[in-house]
């Protein structure tokens, strides 16, 4: 009888311990003021760097291509705009769906950090949009107009993040990233293409 009671005590003790672990592991994530500052600092910095890199470009500089199959600075900025528009739509959809605090399979931020902002690995846009090509810029807009488009959208995101009291860590995009993590991709994407713009400018035939 004593042995039976001892076994039951161990079982219940183990059950309580594992339940405590589960409670800790499934604790609802919180979007903090430090998170807000991190996003705002990087969204503003990437915007300012893109503005500085494209300031006072001539029409020839906007439209110069290193080769026929490469993008001009104008097309690079248009691509950033297209990509950011798509991400903003996903964020607004996530906000309309509402929070999902009971979702437990959330990923850490480290998974969504792009370690290749210097473009050591050249990516092909259509690999991410198959079977469509909506990420490929047409180059029909003037570069300065693409920058107006970009800054308008980016400023809306900055204003939203400054004023929101929503817990962005419990609003999910396709149950993969949360909104905080999605916004991390905004400035990482801009930083990556800033390096591409600098590559264009370094070409020996780039108009001076």
pLDDT-wise least confident of 37-51, 65-79, 103-117, 174-188: 103-117
Residues 6+ apart with CB under 8 A from 182: 87, 90, 91, 94, 173
Write out pLDDT tens, residues 17-68: 333 333 345 589 999 999 999 999 999 999 999 999 999 999 999 999 999 9
Position 12 pLDDT exceeds 50: no
Model's pTM, two decimal places?
0.82
Q: What is the mean pLDDT of residues 151-176?
A: 97
Rounded average pLDDT over 124-149: 85
Find, among 162, 183, 161, 160, the residue nearest to 173 by Cα.
183
Percent of the chain with pLDDT over 70: 84
CATH no. of 30-202: 1.20.120.450
Which has the minimum average pLDDT: 32-36, 140-144, 151-155, 159-163? Answer: 140-144
Mean pLDDT, rounded, of the chain:
86
Nearest residue to 88 (alpha-carbon basis) of 191, 159, 170: 159
Residue 146 has pLDDT above 60, yes or no: yes
- Residue with token string 């204003």: 159
Question: In angstroms, rounded to a whole number, what is the distance separating the alpha carbons of residues 44 and 183?
Answer: 12
182: number of Cβ within 10 Å: 20
Reading the block at residue 40, the tokens are: 């705002």
Q: Between the CA atoms of 97, 98, 103 and 106, what dihedral angle is there, to the nearest 10 degrees?
A: 90
Collect all residues with Cβ–Cβ distance below 8 Å to 68 and sequence separation of at least 6: none
Q: Any idea which residue has 């969504």 for tokens?
A: 112
Hey, is 58 helix, strand or coil?
coil
Q: Counting every residue, how long is the chain?
A: 208
pLDDT-derived band at 122 (thresholds 50, 70, 90) equals: low
- Per-domain boundaries in the chain: 30-202
């Amino acid at each position: 009888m004593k042995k039976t009671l001892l076994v039951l005590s161990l079982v219940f003790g183990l059950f309580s311990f594992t339940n405590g672990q589960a409670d800790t592991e499934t604790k609802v994530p919180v979007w903090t003021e430090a998170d807000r500052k991190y996003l705002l600092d990087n969204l503003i910095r990437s915007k300012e760097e893109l503005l500085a890199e494209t300031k006072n470009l001539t029409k020839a500089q906007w439209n110069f291509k290193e080769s026929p199959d490469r993008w001009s600075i104008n097309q690079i900025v248009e691509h950033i705009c297209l990509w950011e528009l798509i991400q903003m739509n996903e964020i607004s959809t996530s906000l309309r769906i509402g929070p999902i605090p009971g979702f437990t399979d959330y990923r850490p931020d480290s998974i969504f950090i792009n370690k290749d902002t210097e473009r050591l690995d050249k990516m092909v846009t259509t690999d991410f949009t198959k079977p469509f090509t909506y990420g490929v810029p047409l180059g029909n807009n003037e570069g300065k107009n693409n920058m107006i488009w970009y800054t308008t959208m980016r400023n809306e995101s900055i204003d939203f993040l400054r004023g929101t009291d929503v817990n962005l860590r419990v609003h999910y995009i396709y149950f993969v990233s949360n909104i905080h993590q999605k916004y991390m991709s905004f400035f990482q994407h801009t930083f990556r293409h800033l390096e591409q713009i600098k590559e264009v400018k370094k070409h020996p035939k780039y108009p001076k």
